[in-house]
């Protein structure tokens, strides 16, 4: 039954087919004019820019600016690695130094000193003493133009550490004293 | 934006082409024109009859309407359905203008139709007989038969174009086949 119906459909489709050749005339001028009018209306500068595109553009531009500014701050771990390697490192990856790029050439001066091991003091220094000797003052002299942003913290056993190089305050004091003597 | 750089419209889908037309691209329009002009031409010509001189004007009007309303196109429908709907409305308007609708009713005696030409009857093949029989059908039924068996559209698509339920289209097709059968048998008897 179904086959008969399909056969009839096919036969009808065949009977309805026509092979008359069709010449394709050029579209009327009104059509081309309407097309050109459409193109003019859709040009980029006449379309309102969606709000989301504006927001995305602003975020991208500000992101690029922030990234560029971030590149101007050099992490201490990448520039002064030699210095940091001298002493045990405590949370080194959290510390950054505000360091102009032009100051980098001062690094070899410190590097030459590193060959001689820095003296270490066994006894930790008490917290009040650490406060009296801020890291900035200690670092200014041997490292020239470098400005160091550092902070002090106290470990569980009560010793005070400088976050820059993992020195105790006493170790740092002695280390820079040693540097002065070498120079 | 990407349409500006697109060169090969031939491989594009209808939906993409329509977006191109909505953006005013000549290439997209040319491709639509080349794809659908021959089909629409045959549909209009067989709907209105071979003697009509309005075929090309109606087709140009159809494509003009396409360009003007391309941005309002419902993407859930196919471009084919969209174009045939425009064409069907134009043909209806044309019938109205020529006041052909009452004249083309199926009640018209066959003797007044093309089959009165005995010589022609002897020589024409079955396809021509069908084409001539179609002209006896009422216009809307003729359009449905052409959409179904010439353009090979589905019942759903035809229902969309004719703006009536699928069930109605099915019964109209069934009625159309019976009607054509009767007309063809009568014409053969008349020829003998």
Q: Around Cβ A125, how many Cβ atoms within 10 Å? A: 20
A2, A89, A138, B14, B170 from B137: Cα distances, Å: 27, 97, 106, 32, 16
Could you tell me the pLDDT band of residue A175, with boundaries at 50, 70 and 90?
low
**Sign of the four-CA dihedral A113, A115, A121, A127:** positive
CB nearest to A13's CB, from B33, B67, B152: B152
**Beta strand pairing call for A160-162 and A152-154:** antiparallel
Under an 8 A CB cutoff, do A18 and B131 touch?
A: yes
Q: Is the pLDDT of residue B123 over 50?
A: no
Under an 8 A CB cutoff, do B150 and A34 touch?
A: no
Give the pLDDT score at A123. Answer: 46
Q: Is the pLDDT of residue B109 over 80?
A: no
Pairwise CA distance, residues B77 & B65, whole Å: 17
Question: Do residues B94 and B58 lie in contact, with contact meaning Cβ atoms separated by under 8 Å?
Answer: yes
Give the pLDDT score at A159. Answer: 59
Note the maximum CA span of chain A.
111
Please name the helix (run of DSSP H) or strand (run of DSSP E) that holds residue A71, with its range, or none.
helix A51-71
Under an 8 A CB cutoff, do A42 and B24 touch?
A: yes
Question: Do residues B176 and B137 lie in contact, with contact meaning Cβ atoms separated by under 8 Å?
Answer: yes
A5 touches chain B (CB under 8 A): no
For the record, the structure tokens of A142 come out as 């041997």
How much is the average pLDDT of A60-84? Answer: 71
Q: What is the mean pLDDT of chain B?
A: 80
Nearest Cα neighbor of B167 from B184, B176, B155, B179 is B155
Torsion of the alpha carbons at A41, A46, A50 and A51, rounded to the nearest 10: -160
**pLDDT digits over A3-23, tens only?**
777 777 788 888 887 777 788
Give the pLDDT score at B173. Answer: 92
Q: Is the pLDDT of residue A101 over 60?
A: no
Exposed/middle/buried for residue A3 (C-beta within 10 Å: 0-12, 13-18, 19+): exposed
Give the range among A63-77, A140-154, B66-80, B123-137 with minimum mean pLDDT. A140-154
Could you tell me the pLDDT band of residue B6, with boundaries at 50, 70 and 90?
low
Give the pLDDT score at A142. Answer: 43
End-to-end CA, chain A: 109
Is the ipTM of this structure higher than 0.90? Answer: no
Higher pLDDT, B66 or A157: B66
CB nearest to A15's CB, from B23, B56, B127: B127
Q: Is the pLDDT of residue A80 over 60?
A: no
- Among A4, A10, A15, A32, the residue to mutate for chain B (most B Cβ within 10 A): A15
- B65: nearest CA partner in chain A: A31
Question: Do residues A148 and A136 lie in contact, with contact meaning Cβ atoms separated by under 8 Å?
Answer: yes
To the nearest whole Å, the CA of B33 is away from the closest chain A CA by 8
Contacts of A64 (CB under 8 A, 6+ apart): none
| The overall pTM is greater than 0.80 | no
Q: What angle do CA A36, A42, A48 make, to 5 degrees?
A: 160
- Among A5, A9, A12, A29, the residue to mutate for chain B (most B Cβ within 10 A): A12
**Sign of the four-CA dihedral A75, A79, A80, A85:** positive
Q: What is the mean pLDDT of chain A?
A: 62
Q: Is the pLDDT of residue A24 over 70?
A: yes
Give the pLDDT score at A156. Answer: 57
Please list the residues that pair with A154 across neighbouring strands. Answer: A160
Under an 8 A CB cutoff, do B26 and A32 touch?
A: yes
Q: Is the pLDDT of residue A130 over 70?
A: no
Please list the residues that pair with A160 across neighbouring strands. Answer: A154
Pairwise CA distance, residues B166 & B148, whole Å: 12
CB nearest to A17's CB, from B56, B70, B150: B150
Give the pLDDT score at B134. Answer: 86
Give the pLDDT score at B26. Answer: 87
Pairwise CA distance, residues A166 & A60, whole Å: 38
- A43: nearest CA partner in chain B: B23
Give the range among A127-131, A135-139, B132-136, B181-185 with minimum mean pLDDT. A127-131
Q: Which residues of B touch A11 (CB under 8 A)?
A: none
Give the pLDDT score at A86. Answer: 45
Under an 8 A CB cutoff, do A18 and B150 touch?
A: yes
Question: In this structure, what are the phi and psi dihedrals at residue A153, rounded to the nearest 5 degrees?
Answer: -145, 160
- Among A27, A41, A42, A45, the residue to mutate for chain B (most B Cβ within 10 A): A27
């Amino acid at each position: 039954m179904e086959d008969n119906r399909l056969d009839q459909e096919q036969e009808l489709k065949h009977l309805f087919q026509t092979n008359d050749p069709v010449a394709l005339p050029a579209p009327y001028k009104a059509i081309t004019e309407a097309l050109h009018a459409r193109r003019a209306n859709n040009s980029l500068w006449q379309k309102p820019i969606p709000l989301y595109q504006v927001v995305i553009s602003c975020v991208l531009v500000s992101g690029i600016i922030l990234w560029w500014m971030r590149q101007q701050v050099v992490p201490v771990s990448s520039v002064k690695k030699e210095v940091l390697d001298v002493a045990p490192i405590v949370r080194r990856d959290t510390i950054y130094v505000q360091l102009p790029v032009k100051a980098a050439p001062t690094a070899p001066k410190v590097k030459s000193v590193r060959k001689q091991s820095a003296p270490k003091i066994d006894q930790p220094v008490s917290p009040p003493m650490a406060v009296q000797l801020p890291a900035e003052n200690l670092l200014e002299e041997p490292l020239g133009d470098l400005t160091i942003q550092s902070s002090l913290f106290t470990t569980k056993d009560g010793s005070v550490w400088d976050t820059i190089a993992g020195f105790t305050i006493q170790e740092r004091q002695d280390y820079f004293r040693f540097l002065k003597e070498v120079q | 934006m990407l349409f500006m750089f697109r060169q090969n419209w031939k491989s594009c889908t209808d939906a993409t082409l329509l977006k191109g037309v909505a953006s005013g691209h000549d290439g997209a329009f040319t491709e639509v024109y080349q794809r659908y002009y021959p089909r629409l031409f045959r549909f209009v010509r067989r709907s209105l009859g071979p003697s009509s001189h309005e075929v090309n004007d109606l087709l140009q009007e159809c494509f003009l309407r396409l360009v003007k309303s391309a941005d309002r196109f419902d993407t859930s429908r196919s471009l084919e359905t969209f174009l045939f709907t425009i064409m069907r409305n134009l043909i209806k308007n044309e019938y109205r203008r020529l006041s052909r609708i009452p004249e083309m009713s199926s009640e018209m005696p066959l003797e007044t139709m093309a089959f009165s030409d005995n010589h022609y009857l002897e020589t024409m093949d079955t396809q021509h007989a069908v084409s001539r029989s179609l002209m006896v059908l009422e216009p809307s039924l003729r359009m449905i038969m052409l959409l179904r068996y010439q353009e090979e559209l589905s019942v759903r698509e035809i229902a969309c174009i004719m703006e009536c339920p699928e069930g109605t289209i099915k019964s109209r097709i069934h009625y159309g086949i019976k009607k054509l059968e009767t007309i063809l048998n009568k014409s053969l008897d008349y020829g003998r």
